[in-house]
């Protein structure tokens, strides 16, 4: 390791320049010798006292990046694998964790100011250096350097040193890419109003984020020390292929009897071992050995059995991450869902059945399109499922199964079997636990069923009838309102904040608008512009913008309650003044036969809204 070399150079530089014969006996030389011994002693004490990390890099205030333990970094792979390097370079995995630089920083840093409840930040820049000037309760006004970033696809979070060893804390504002603006970090999660906006999550990066956002991250936390280091910032080759040093040596050696190549190709592993590589990060779990992790990082390497390092978990490990039947409900935790699917348990489904971590040469999409979800070309369509469920290759079998025209979004397997019932990053995401529309379970768990997430204007009663007709599924008993009122509208008005967010998101989902019309959602979405949860207001506004007449409707989800009320009235006004198509049964969406809003009924539902606190921290 490079540290050995550094030790030598430290000693040489602290060694006084002396005549060549300094080591000969004599008065001057013995003084020098004593000096030398003292200096050596002091250097040794300092050496052991200081963390190994501090010796290697000029910036000792943030986590260190250094190779070792067999890790050699992506740079070492470029020479022999330029194509794989290029597709990885285009992926969001690479840019997950970056040092702050002109290339990595996304938010504006030209003196922009943001404020929430007295917590303020001003973002400034001096050449390649970035700063956040913070005003926080109980702290002096500070100008803090931004040294690292998290994220680049939907949002970006900035990190600043606490000043203690290599510990970081978070600037309590995040940059939202879609809106090109700074927002309080608390607003990027679905969590109850009143959550403290000044939280800087001191040390969380070093302990928690490092697990899933870097390659071989080591918190280095031991007694009073925090020597945090990573093999590579960002999620790079060796996170999925294992340490590469031995592989490179293998290919540089000309020797016929050199055994097996030690590198791991996930595509050549069993579906379990291969999926576990992704599962390292895309799951809810608890550490088998937390103190060991905090000190030395994970012992797990690609190809190993993940369960030796993690308790792959259910509710007990991640409160808020699961629906009541144990289906994961936050995004970024796809491994938990997929592992509970029959296709994985009885078949060989793996993440690689649908996703590809390197774009192939035949792929006509540009790298940016591919990088969004990193799906294989086949997995964009039903081929993802037909590769195993081959009977649906036959269009007549497909139609007989789905009861929708073959080219309808209602014949797309994902839409019934992997609906968007997970939540994260201010949007709904596909549930990776493959299951089927089931009203009984929806009533029991509160997790909406796929039919009603597309047929937004239909009641559970409608769905139950078709599920019974088409699939012979026994209809569960329903309350009167569930027979009459649109199921998704009911969730929008009466559900808990997590359900409201999902309902609101689907009210702007193009396939759902195609199936349900788009002329009736606005006066209901408008109500959510006054929702107590930041995330719900944000999603409601985004969905409103999908509706005709609302394309340029402006509203700031962070505005004060008076402005929210005005925005709500403005939206209802626009809707009332526009011509509109009514659904087949206007009553199901709380309109009368003239298309007028049944306000009292709407209010009654709103009054029964679930105010149970929901926290979905993905
Ligand atoms: C000196 C050249 C060289 C370097 C550097 C190198 N590789 Fe390879 N790698 C090869 C050769 C040769 C093969 C086998 C032929 C092929 O698949 O291209 C290979 C194959 C692979 C495979 C496929 C193995 C399989 O069983 O299918 C993976 C994965 C891989 N390398 C990853 C890496 C990673 C990660 C790095 C950087 C840490 C790296 N390689 C650096 C030469 C190299
Ligand atoms: C268990 C693994 C895990 C941990 C721990 C974790 N994350 Fe993540 N994070 C993910 C995954 C997976 C995604 C991608 C989710 C998706 O695309 O739906 C993600 C996405 C994100 C994003 C969005 C990135 C973008 O490009 O838009 C941010 C921001 C983020 N995480 C911040 C954090 C912070 C801050 C921490 C530490 C407090 C943290 N995460 C801890 C796994 C994790
Ligand atoms: C997020 C996980 C991940 C990262 C990061 C990653 N790979 Fe891969 N790599 C895979 C998977 C999975 C496969 C199997 C084929 C596929 O999915 O595309 C693969 C396949 C390969 C192969 C075999 C040939 C091929 O294209 O199938 C090589 C070589 C390779 N990767 C090299 C690299 C190098 C070099 C890097 C970094 C520059 C890298 N990989 C980064 C997951 C990853
Ligand atoms: C070291 C942790 C880690 C590993 C290993 C890992 N991922 Fe990820 N993955 C993440 C994080 C964190 C993100 C969020 C990146 C972002 O969006 O900025 C992510 C994003 C993604 C995305 C969404 C990309 C986007 O932003 O649209 C997909 C798809 C994905 N990963 C699949 C996989 C698969 C499949 C594997 C296994 C071959 C894998 N990942 C391995 C941590 C990891
Ligand atoms: C049967 C196909 C299939 C399998 C298997 C699968 N995915 Fe996905 N995945 C998808 C589709 C389709 C999307 C989303 C496209 C969309 O948004 O409509 C997706 C989206 C994602 C995203 C982005 C989520 C978001 O919206 O933020 C991540 C991350 C991801 N998958 C990770 C994984 C991981 C990790 C595995 C294995 C544990 C896996 N997937 C297995 C099909 C699959
Ligand atoms: C790698 C192969 C494979 C892929 C890909 C696959 N499945 Fe499956 N699937 C299976 C196997 C095997 C079973 C179990 C069959 C049995 O029990 O007889 C199954 C079972 C099912 C079931 C029944 C579930 C249950 O709980 O009984 C459904 C529904 C299903 N798959 C839908 C899908 C959909 C939709 C996709 C694509 C998004 C898909 N599958 C992709 C192999 C696969
Ligand atoms: C319109 C919604 C819908 C679409 C689209 C759909 N399915 Fe289904 N599927 C269902 C329902 C509902 C059930 C449950 C039947 C039951 O519980 O008995 C089901 C059951 C299944 C099953 C298990 C029972 C069986 O028939 O083997 C499999 C496998 C399956 N679907 C695969 C697929 C595949 C593959 C696709 C795409 C080619 C697909 N489905 C598209 C609604 C749909
Ligand atoms: C992804 C969206 C989507 C999903 C999920 C979906 N459908 Fe459809 N459905 C449509 C569309 C679009 C049409 C219009 C027909 C077409 O595609 O041209 C339609 C038409 C229908 C029709 C006939 C027209 C009507 O409104 O009476 C019925 C009945 C129906 N769907 C029932 C269901 C049931 C039951 C489910 C769940 C098992 C379901 N759909 C799931 C999109 C969807």
The candidate with the shortest Cα–Cα distance to 338, out of 282, 381, 380, 285, is 282
pLDDT digits (tens, 9 = 90+) for 75-95: 999 999 999 999 999 999 999
Q: How many Å apart are CA 42 and CA 227, to the nearest integer?
A: 21
Mean pLDDT, residues 552-568 taken together: 98
Residue 3 has pLDDT above 60, yes or no: no
pLDDT classification of 18: cutoffs 50, 70, 90: very low
What's the rounded Cα separation, in Å, for the pair 523 and 147? 45
Residue in 315, 301, 155, 169 with CA at minimum distance from that of residue 228 = 169
pLDDT digits (tens, 9 = 90+) for 323-334: 999 899 999 999
41 burial level (CB within 10 Å; 0-12, 13-18, 19+): exposed
Alpha carbon dihedral 223, 199, 498, 561, in 10-degree steps, equals 170
- Nearest C-alpha neighbor of 310 from the set 290, 325, 296, 327: 290
Find the 583 Cα to ligand 8 centroid distance in Å.
14
Q: Would the CA dihedral through 581, 467, 437, 392 be positive or negative?
A: negative
- Give the pLDDT confidence score for residue 13 in this predicted structure: 34
Write down the pLDDT at residue 58: 64
Q: For residue 223, count other CB atoms closer than 10 A to its CB.
A: 6
Ligand nearest to the CA of 168: 2
Determine if ligand 8 sits within 6 Å of the CB of residue 449: no
pLDDT of residue 318: 58
Evaluate if residue 285 carries a pLDDT over 90: no
CA 488 to ligand 6 centroid distance, Å: 27
Alpha carbon distance 546, 542 (integer Å): 7
Q: Whose CA is nearest to atom 30 of ligand 1?
A: 263
CA of 325 to the centre of ligand 4 (A): 26
Residue nearest to atom 14 of ligand 7 (CA): 436
All residues at 6 or more sequence positions from 420 whose CB lies less than 8 Å from its CB, including other chains: 428, 429, 430, 431, 453, 502, 505, 506, 509
Is 33's pLDDT higher than 80? Answer: no
Q: What is the mean pLDDT of residues 492-521?
A: 98
First to last CA, the chain: 37
The pLDDT-based confidence of 57 (bands split at 50, 70, 90) is low
Tens of pLDDT along 113-162?
999 999 999 999 999 999 999 999 988 999 999 999 999 999 999 999 99
Ligand 8 and 450: CB distance under 6 A: yes
What tokens were used for 243?
Answer: 């340490």
pLDDT over 80 at 16, yes or no: no
Rounded Cα distance, 205 and 104, in Å = 18
Q: Which of 93, 302, 334, 355 to mutate to test the pocket of ligand 4 (most atoms within 8 A of CB)?
A: 93
Contacts of 495 (CB under 8 A, 6+ apart): 446, 503, 609, 610
CA distance 413 to 409: 9
Residue 248: its pLDDT value, please? 97
Q: Which residue has the CA at smallest separation from atom 5 of ligand 5?
A: 351
In which region does residue 140 sit, left (phi positive, over 0), alpha (psi from -120 to 50) or beta (all else)?
A: beta
Q: What is the mean pLDDT of residues 579-586?
A: 91
Cα separation, 132 vs 122, in Å, equals 6
Per-residue pLDDT tens digits for 360-393: 999 999 999 999 999 999 999 999 999 999 999 9
Q: How far apart are CA 97 and CA 95, in angstroms?
A: 6
Whether residue 438 is predicted with pLDDT greater than 60 in this model: the reply is: yes
């Amino acid at each position: 390791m490079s540290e050995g070399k550094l030790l030598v150079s430290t000693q040489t530089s602290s060694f006084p320049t002396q005549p060549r014969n300094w080591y000969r006996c004599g008065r001057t030389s013995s003084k020098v010798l004593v000096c030398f011994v003292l200096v050596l002693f002091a250097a040794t004490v300092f050496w052991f006292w200081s963390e190994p990390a501090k010796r290697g890099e000029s910036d000792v205030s943030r986590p260190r990046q250094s190779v070792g333990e067999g890790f050699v970094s992506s740079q070492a792979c470029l020479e022999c694998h330029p194509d794989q390097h290029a597709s990885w370079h285009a992926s969001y995995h690479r840019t997950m964790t970056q040092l702050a630089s002109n290339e990595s920083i996304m938010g504006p840093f030209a003196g922009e100011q943001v404020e929430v409840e007295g917590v303020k930040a001003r973002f400034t820049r001096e050449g390649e250096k970035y700063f956040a000037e913070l005003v926080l309760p109980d702290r002096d006004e500070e100008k803090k350097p931004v040294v690292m970033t998290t994220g680049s696809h939907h949002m970006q979070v900035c990190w600043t040193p606490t000043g203690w060893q290599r510990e970081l804390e978070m600037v309590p504002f995040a940059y939202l890419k879609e809106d090109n603006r700074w927002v309080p970090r608390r607003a990027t999660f679905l969590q109850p109003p009143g959550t403290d906006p000044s939280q800087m999550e001191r040390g969380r990066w070093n302990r928690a984020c490092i697990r899933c956002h870097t390659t071989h991250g080591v918190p280095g936390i031991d007694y009073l020390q925090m020597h945090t280091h990573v093999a590579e910032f960002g999620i790079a080759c060796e996170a999925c292929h294992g340490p590469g040093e031995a592989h490179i040596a293998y290919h540089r050696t000309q020797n016929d009897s050199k055994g097996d190549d030690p590198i791991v190709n996930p595509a050549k592993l069993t579906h379990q071992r291969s999926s576990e590589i992704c599962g390292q990060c895309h799951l809810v779990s608890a550490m088998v050995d937390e103190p060991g992790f905090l000190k030395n990082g994970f012992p797990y390497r690609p190809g190993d059995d993940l369960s030796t390092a993690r308790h792959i978990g259910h509710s007990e490990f991640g409160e808020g991450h699961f629906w009541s039947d144990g289906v994961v409900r936050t995004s970024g935790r796809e491994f938990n869902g997929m592992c509970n699917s029959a296709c994985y348990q009885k078949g060989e489904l793996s993440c690689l059945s649908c996703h590809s971590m390197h774009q192939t040469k035949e792929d006509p999409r540009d790298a940016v399109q591919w990088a969004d979800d990193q799906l294989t070309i086949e997995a964009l369509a039903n081929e993802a499922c037909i590769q195993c469920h081959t009977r649906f290759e036959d269009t007549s079998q497909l139609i007989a199964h789905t009861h929708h025209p073959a080219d309808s979004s209602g014949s797309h397997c994902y839409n019934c079997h992997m609906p968007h019932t997970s939540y994260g990053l201010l949007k709904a995401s596909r549930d990776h636990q493959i299951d089927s529309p089931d009203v009984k379970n929806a009533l029991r768990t509160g997790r909406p069923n796929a039919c009603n997430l597309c047929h937004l204007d239909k009641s559970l009663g409608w769905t139950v009838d078709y599920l019974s007709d088409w699939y012979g599924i026994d209809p569960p008993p329903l309350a009167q309102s569930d027979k009459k009122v649109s199921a998704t509208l009911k969730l929008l008005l009466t559900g808990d904040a997590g359900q409201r967010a999902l309902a609101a998101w689907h009210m702007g989902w193009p396939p759902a608008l195609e199936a349900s019309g788009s002329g009736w959602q606005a006066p209901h979405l408008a109500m959510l512009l006054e929702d107590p949860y930041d995330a719900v207001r944000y999603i409601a506004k985004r969905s409103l913008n999908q509706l005709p007449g609302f394309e340029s409707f402006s509203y700031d989800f962070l505005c004060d309650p008076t402005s929210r009320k005005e925005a709500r009235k403005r939206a209802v006004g626009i809707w009332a003044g526009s011509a509109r198509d009514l659904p087949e049964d206007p009553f199901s969406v709380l309109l009368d036969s003239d298309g007028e809003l049944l306000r009292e009924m709407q209010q009654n539902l709103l009054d029964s809204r679930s105010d149970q606190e929901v926290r979905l921290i993905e």
